[in-house]
Amino acid sequence: MLQYGDLPTPAPGQGEVLVRISASGVNPSDVKARAGTRGGRSRPAFDVVVPHSDGAGTIVDRGPGAERFSVGDRVWLCNGQWRRPMGTAAEYISIDENLVFALPGSVSDRVGAALGIPALTACHAATGYGDLSGRVVLVSGGAGTVGRLAVQFAKHAGAWVIASGRTPSSEEAILSAGADAFVSYESPSFVDDVRQATGDRPVDHAIEVEFGANVDRLTGLLADRATVVAFGSARMQTPPLPFYELLFKGVRLEFLLVYLLTDEERHAAATRVNQLLVAGDLDVRVDSEFALTDCASAHELVERGGHRGAVVLRVN
C-alpha cells in the first residue's frame, strides 16, 4: 500500500551523493516491485520502501570519497530502489555516485527522470554487444518506452532497423523514431512480413521484450551468429527453447537486466544517452506527470498500460 508521509533526510555515506529530487520516473518494474511481483517475489524485501529507480535533481551534498560531482550540479540517476529500500519518490535520495550522471543543461528534469531504466536498457541492448553498422536489427515492441528508444540508438549506430508493434496505433511512433520498416506483431504472416521488409536479409541483432512469446518465430529470421538481447518475457515466463535451431545458427543469447550492468557498461551507455540528448537526436516521450502526493494514480496508470511515453512524478 502506498502512503504519503515524512522520513528523515538521508546523509550521504562513503562514495555517495545526496540528490534533491525534482522528478521521479515511474517504471513498470517499480510498480511490480511495489506489488511484490518483481523477480518472483511475493512481497517487498523491506518493511518500509520508498519506491522508484529513476530520477532527476540537484546535488546538495557529497559523502567521503565522492568526487565526480559538485554541489549544485544537475543530474539524472538510476537504480534508486534496487536491493535497497529508499528510491526516488522522495524529496531526497542518498546514492552511490556511480549511479548518477550529469543532466545536460538543455534537458528538462522530467525528461531526466524518464531516462534511467528505459534509456540504459535500450542503449545497452542496441550498442553493448558489438558494431551494428550495416546490420539488420529487429526491435520487438518498438512503440514501447524502451523499444522506441532502442530504435533510435540502433539507427544512430548505423543499423537498418525494423520494429514490431500493434497496427495501426504503433506505426507512427515507430517510424517517427527512425525505423526503416514497421511490421505488425499481430499479423499471422509475421515471419514473411519481416522477410519481405528486409528484402530477405536475415536479422543480425534482435532486441526482444517478449522473448518467450516470440522466440519460435524469431528463430526462423535470425542470421548465423546473430545476437538476441532479451529484457522481458512477461507473457511466457518459462518458455520452451528451440535449442538446436538456435545452436546450429550459433546464436548468442543475452539476458539483459539493466540493474546489473557493470559501472563501465553503465557509464558507456549513459555517455551515449547524453551525447544524443545534447545533439537533439534522442526523442524521449513523457506521457503524464503527477504530483508526488498522487503517486498511487501514477502507479495505476502504469498498471493499466496504454500510455505513450514515460510517467513521472513532480517532486520539487
Residue 105 belongs to a domain with what CATH number?
A: 3.90.180.10
Q: For residue 45, what pLDDT band results from cuts at 50, 70 and 90?
A: confident
Claim to verify: residue 79 and residue 151 sit in the same structural domain: no
Backbone conformation region of residue 248, classed left if phi is above 0, alpha if psi is from -120 to 50, else beta: alpha
Residues 128, 248: one domain? yes
Q: Please determine, for residue 37, whether its predicted confidence score (pLDDT) is greater than 90.
A: no
Residue 44 lies in a domain: yes
| Judgement on whether residues 124 and 253 belong to the same structural domain of the protein | yes
Q: How confident is the model at residue 38 (pLDDT cuts 50, 70, 90)?
A: low
Order of all β-strands in the sheet with 160-165: 181-184, 160-165, 136-139, 203-208, 222-230, 252-255
Residue 306 pLDDT > 90: no
Are residue 132 and residue 239 in the same domain, yes or no? yes
Structural domain contains residue 211:
yes
Average pLDDT of the residues of the chain: 94
Query: Per the domain annotation, does 86 fall within a domain?
Result: yes
Buried (b) or exposed (e) across 216-255, using 16+ Cβ within 10 A? eebbebbbeebbbbbbbbeeeeebeeeeeebeebebeeee
- Of 42-56, 108-122, 162-176, where does mean pLDDT reach its minimum? 42-56
What's the whole-number mean pLDDT along residues 209-229? 97
44 preceded by a cis bond (ω within 30 of 0): no
Residues 252, 127, single domain; the answer is yes
Final residue before a domain boundary, out of 259, 275, 304: 259
Confidence class for position 294, pLDDT limits 50, 70, 90 = very high
Q: How far apart are CA 92 and CA 56, in angstroms?
A: 11
221-241 average pLDDT score: 96
Joined grid coordinates for residue 92: 531526497
277 occurs within a structural domain: no
Range of the domain at 233: 120-259
Q: Tell me whether residue 276 is in a domain.
A: no
Q: Which residues, 6 or more positions from 43, have their beta carbon under 8 angstroms from its beta carbon? A: 36
Tens-place pLDDT, residues 282-293:
999 999 999 999
Do 127 and 111 belong to one domain? no
CATH of the domain at 138: 3.40.50.720
User: Do 43 and 131 fall into the same domain?
Assistant: no
79 and 202 housed in the same domain:
no
Q: Are residues 217 and 232 in the same domain?
A: yes
Per the CB < 8 A criterion, the answer to whether 252 and 224 are in contact is: no
Amino acid at 162: I
**Counted domains in the chain:** 2
Q: Tell me whether residue 279 is in a domain.
A: no
pLDDT on residue 150? 98
* Per-residue model confidence (pLDDT) at position 2: 85
Question: Do 128 and 168 belong together in one domain?
Answer: yes
Q: Are residues 42 and 95 in the same domain?
A: yes
Q: Do residue 293 and residue 241 come from a single domain?
A: no
166 is a domain residue: yes
Q: Is 265 inside a domain boundary?
A: no
